[in-house]
Amino acid sequence: MKNELINQIKTKMEPHLSEIQIYELNRNLKVIFMDFDVAKIKKSDESKENQELLMSFLSAKEIEGCSKKTIAYYRNTILKMLDKINLRIENITTDDLRKYLSDYKNQSNASKSTIDNIRRVLSSFFSWLEDEDYIPKNPIRRIHRIKTKTVVKEVISDENFEVLRDNCNNIRDLAMIELLASTGIRVGELVNLNIDDVLFNERECVVLGKGESERIVYFDAKTKIHLQKYLESRDDSNPALFVSIKKPHSRIGITGVEKRIRKLGRESDIKKVHPHKFRRTMATKAIDKGMPIEQVQRLLGHVQIDTTMQYAMVNQSNVKIAHRKYIG
């Protein structure tokens, strides 16, 4: 309790003192409190105040256009931290957060990437609190990004894609993988597409991306032919672009697409085939063939270009060719 009280005083005084003054304040407070018994006074509204600030933050994120899935992730991540540290938000210090992240990593054996994701969520939360003047200073500002190992993720080779095509036993699945590969859309965007969203003459469709933002994506002539054949084969009146094979032909969901494509991968003896791999493959091919990264970013619907670079790992053989061309 003494340390908690000292930390609260330090937090209040930090904006007004230098590092040396903070050090001296901390040292003297410990000496002064050494001879005193400090009893903890529980504040019934402590948890309520934390909850109210959290809800205000989540409301702000919702207004900014964050998806329900993202908001739920923010909520769960921040709640875990608040429950573990068990202090009023304004009294949480940098040391508290460092210890929390360290304990989380050790206890759950989480990866560096997971810990950095948590750090980013907490950074967003405390930065917002500081901007809104709920706290005098952001305690996580001095906790820097955690360096993680960059892993070059696999893409679907041209040969493997041909094998997948050959193993499609129905026109729906063929049209589905062609559209994923040609446009690079997310699986959530795929299942939300309606027939009216597709403009066959222009070979384009309008998708609703993250944050309820619309964008136009494009597909090739082969995809157009397969899509038209698939739609001609249907005898239902469902407005959805992709529906289940069996009656009542309801709109296919994300899980349905993922299961079907993973099964197709197993049947084709190709490892780790999933919808997102088509997206990464499209981005990588586009960059390899010279498409400007800003245009790839627009096609994928990314807000930050750094995200696009993570998806599109340039083929190493192309780097070698470019080196010989430009360097010698």
H/E segment holding residue 208: strand 204-208
pLDDT per position as a tens digit, 240-249: 999 999 989 9
pLDDT per position as a tens digit, 58-94: 999 988 878 788 899 999 999 999 999 999 999 999 9
Give the range among 37-41, 81-85, 108-112 with minimum mean pLDDT.
Answer: 37-41
User: Is there a catalytic annotation at residue 249?
Assistant: no
119, 224, 279, 285: the active-site residue: 279
Query: Could you say which of 94, 112, 131 is where a domain stops?
Result: 131
Q: Where are the alpha helices (DSSP H) in 242-300?
A: 254-267, 275-288, 293-300
Gap between the Cα atoms of 105 and 148, Å rounded: 14
Q: What is the DSSP letter of 65?
A: T
61, 172, 285, 302: the active-site residue: 302
Specify the CATH number for the domain of residue 314: 1.10.443.10
Higher pLDDT, 29 or 117: 117
Residue 119 has pLDDT above 90, yes or no: yes
Higher pLDDT, 287 or 230: 230
Query: Could you say which of 70, 96, 131 is where a domain stops?
Result: 131
User: Is there a catalytic annotation at residue 311?
Assistant: yes
210, 249, 262, 298: the active-site residue: 210
Q: Are residues 181 and 301 in the same domain?
A: yes
Q: Are residues 98 and 194 in the same domain?
A: no
Which band of pLDDT confidence, cut at 50, 70 and 90, is reported for residue 104? very high
172, 186, 226, 260: the active-site residue: 186
Q: Are residues 314 and 175 in the same domain?
A: yes
Q: Are residues 126 and 201 in the same domain?
A: no
Examine residue 177 and state whether it is found in any structural domain, yes or no. yes
User: Is there a catalytic annotation at residue 276?
Assistant: yes
Q: Are residues 185 and 271 in the same domain?
A: yes
Q: Are residues 264 and 120 in the same domain?
A: no
Gap between the Cα atoms of 66 and 60, Å rounded: 9
Q: Are residues 107 and 179 in the same domain?
A: no
Examine residue 163 and state whether it is found in any structural domain, yes or no. yes
Query: Residue 155 has what pLDDT?
Result: 87
311, 320, 324, 326: the active-site residue: 311
Q: Are residues 77 and 185 in the same domain?
A: no
Residue 160 has pLDDT above 80, yes or no: yes
pLDDT per position as a tens digit, 120-137: 999 999 999 999 999 999
User: Is there a catalytic annotation at residue 302?
Assistant: yes
Examine residue 108 and state whether it is found in any structural domain, yes or no. yes
What residues make up the domain containing 91?
42-131
Q: Domain total for the chain?
A: 2
Give the range among 4-8, 156-160, 177-181, 265-269 with minimum mean pLDDT.
Answer: 4-8
Distances (CA, A) of 286 to 49, 170, 295, 299, 315: 49, 28, 9, 10, 11
Which band of pLDDT confidence, cut at 50, 70 and 90, is reported for residue 152? low
Q: What is the DSSP letter of 289?
A: T
Which band of pLDDT confidence, cut at 50, 70 and 90, is reported for residue 4? confident
What share of the chain in percent tops pLDDT 70?
A: 88
Q: Are residues 168 and 96 in the same domain?
A: no
Q: Are residues 178 and 125 in the same domain?
A: no
Query: Residue 28 has what pLDDT?
Result: 76
User: Is there a catalytic annotation at residue 10?
Assistant: no
Q: Are residues 302 and 198 in the same domain?
A: yes
Residue 211 has pLDDT above 60, yes or no: yes
Q: What is the DSSP letter of 93?
A: -
Query: Residue 41 has what pLDDT?
Result: 47
Specify the CATH number for the domain of residue 113: 1.10.150
Query: Could you say which of 88, 115, 131 is where a domain stops?
Result: 131
